[in-house]
């Protein structure tokens, strides 16, 4: 398989002719290649997107016309759901069941924003009474322009849909740069958009590395907004580049999310939700509830039960029957997680389970589900994102102590609380400094609801109505509607 660039309505070779290997993380084998875009390719893609927005029909179409095309894309994704999921398994390593969910969610995202575009257009311009009959005032929403979307490798197709679908629904043109580690399903998305009848230049796909393609896109003066999901380090660089030209950005930068479990919680359910919160997608989830705080009376029993449950997880290639955890995405990521584990042990944390390659898997970037307890709260293992199947479990005594420990983080993407006392759950949920809080669960995510974090976890929100409005500008239009004389120095005040 050989993935080309998609620029100005056509699949094209990269200017340099260079391609990158795409590696199956379960087998450590090259199974495809993707074009390695350079600055000249980025220039061509942004130029096409700029022309499509400034001169083309897309932003001037009705919402219904755009929605019809987006629904064709959703239908195509559903029709190829199994093939897309299998491709994601090869590319990313995740179990097939998880990949099928991701593909289904991506299709729904296109349908959701097709509906949302029509809803916003039907609402029309909002009239505002300013208390002065001489003026008719309206507020309208317009597409922001050319969007540079830079997406991660952990949910390749779904994270692309989170950005591409609302941006297109808003009337923007898009240049998408997926992670070089997992670009293949984004290539399929380009095929669906092409087949749907999307005007040339409205969507463009550039595959390549961050330094060669991503940084060029983020700094390009023809881009009106950069939407990025990934590491805080890269997000900081994108923010700095955007500051030079006062360019709009949205950043989703991950976290170190807490999960507070009180002594009255159901033990079996608590363990199940901990596992879903940290071992789903091999722990490569920005919102993973990787810091578990357990009230002391339940602590020992929960750790024992969690250890047994973690050791019962079936690990293997994602296309295998009954596999619950696949490999990490790459050799580099595997090494990073192993280094974090080693540093945790050296720093005084107690390794309860896992932390090594499964004995039955000689090849692939596999790692056992890993459980630490008694983790010093000043250690990186407790404070920094590991982005792997590694959970830290510490004890607490009081509700106030749990909230303080949970909020003692530079991140604030998500958090969770579990208790039979729903009043207490509500108090804790309101007290947590996080953009997403779950009660008696962890990680359910809905397209209809806003997604994003506080503090260093990012800027802005995706999904829900916020997701499309993030790709819109707000314009005030004020009309003088009376025959009353008006001099250059008015008699009456015009200030609210």
Q: For residues 106, 111, 112 and 116, what is the CA-based torsion angle, rounded to 10 degrees?
A: 140
DSSP assignments along 93-128, one per residue:
---HHHHHHHHHHHHHHHHHHHHHHHHHHHH-SEEE
In whole angstroms, give the CA distance from residue 165 to residue 433. 29
The kind and range of the H/E element at 391 are: strand 390-396
Residue pair 94/326 in contact by the 8 Å Cβ criterion: yes
| Token pair recorded at residue 24 | 């199956």
Residue pair 336/114 in contact by the 8 Å Cβ criterion: no
- What are the CA-CA distances from residue 90 to residues 78, 83, 103, 181, 191 (Å)? 19, 11, 14, 11, 19
Using DSSP's 3-state secondary structure scheme, residue 482 falls into coil
**Length of the chain, in residues:** 496
In whole angstroms, give the CA distance from residue 167 to residue 144. 9
- What are the CA-CA distances from residue 126 to residues 118, 140, 141, 334, 477 (Å)? 15, 7, 9, 52, 10
- What are the CA-CA distances from residue 433 to residues 375, 413, 429, 444, 488 (Å)? 22, 8, 9, 19, 51
393 DSSP β-pair partners:
292, 373
Residue pair 379/423 in contact by the 8 Å Cβ criterion: no
390 DSSP β-pair partners:
370
DSSP assignments along 5-73, one per residue:
EEETTEEE--TT--EEEEEETTTTEEEEEEE---HHHHHHHHHHHHHHHHHSSGGGS-HHHHHHHHHHH
Residue pair 409/379 in contact by the 8 Å Cβ criterion: no
| Token pair recorded at residue 412 | 């604030």
- Which are the catalytic amino acids? 252
Strand pairing report for 390-396 and 291-295: parallel
């Amino acid at each position: 398989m050989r993935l080309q660039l998609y620029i100005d309505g056509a699949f094209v070779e990269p200017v340099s002719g260079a391609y990158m290997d795409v590696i199956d993380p379960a087998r450590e084998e090259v199974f495809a290649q993707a074009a390695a875009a350079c600055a000249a390719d980025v220039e061509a893609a942004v130029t096409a997107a700029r022309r499509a927005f400034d001169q083309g029909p897309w932003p001037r179409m009705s919402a219904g016309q755009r929605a019809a095309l987006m629904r064709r894309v959703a239908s195509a994704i559903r029709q190829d759901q199994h093939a897309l999921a299998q491709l994601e398994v090869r590319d990313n390593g995740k179990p097939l069941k998880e990949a099928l969910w991701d593909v289904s969610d991506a299709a729904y995202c296109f349908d959701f924003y097709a509906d949302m575009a029509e809803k916003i257009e039907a609402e029309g311009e909002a009239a505002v009474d300013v208390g002065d009959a001489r003026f008719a005032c309206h507020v309208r929403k317009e597409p922001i322009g050319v969007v540079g979307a830079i997406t991660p490798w952990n949910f390749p197709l779904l994270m692309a849909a989170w950005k591409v679908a609302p941006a297109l629904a808003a009337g923007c043109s898009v240049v998408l740069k997926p992670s070089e580690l997992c670009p293949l399903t984004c290539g399929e998305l380009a095929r669906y958009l092409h087949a749907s009848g999307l005007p040339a230049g409205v969507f463009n796909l550039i595959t390549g590395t961050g330094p060669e393609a991503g940084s060029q896109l983020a700094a390009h003066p023809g881009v009106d907004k950069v939407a990025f999901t990934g590491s805080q380090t890269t997000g900081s660089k994108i923010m700095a580049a955007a500051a030079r030209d006062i360019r709009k950005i949205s950043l989703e930068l991950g976290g170190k999310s807490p999960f507070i479990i009180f002594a009255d919680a159901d033990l079996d359910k608590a363990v199940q939700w901990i596992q879903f919160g940290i071992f789903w997608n091999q722990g490569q989830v920005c919102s993973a509830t990787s810091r578990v705080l357990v009230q002391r009376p339940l602590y020992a029993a929960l750790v024992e039960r969690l250890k047994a449950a973690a050791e019962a997880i079936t690990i293997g290639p994602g296309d295998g029957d009954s596999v619950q955890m696949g490999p990490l995405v790459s050799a580099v990521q595997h090494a990073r997680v192993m280094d974090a584990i080693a540093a945790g042990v050296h720093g005084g944390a107690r390794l309860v389970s896992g932390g090594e390659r499964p004995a039955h898997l000689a090849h692939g970037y596999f790692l056992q589900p890993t459980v630490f307890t008694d983790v010093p709260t000043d250690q990186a293992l407790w404070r920094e994102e590991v982005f792997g199947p590694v959970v830290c479990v510490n004890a607490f005594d009081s509700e106030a102590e749990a909230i303080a420990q949970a909020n003692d983080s530079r991140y604030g993407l998500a958090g969770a609380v579990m208790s039979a006392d729903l009043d207490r759950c509500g108090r804790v949920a309101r007290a947590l400094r996080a953009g997403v809080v779950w009660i008696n669960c962890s990680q359910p995510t809905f397209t209809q609801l806003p997604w994003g974090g506080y503090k260093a976890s990012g800027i802005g929100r995706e999904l829900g109505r916020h997701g499309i409005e993030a790709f819109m500008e707000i314009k005030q239009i004020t009309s003088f509607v009376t025959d009353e004389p008006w001099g250059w120095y008015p008699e009456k005040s015009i200030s609210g």
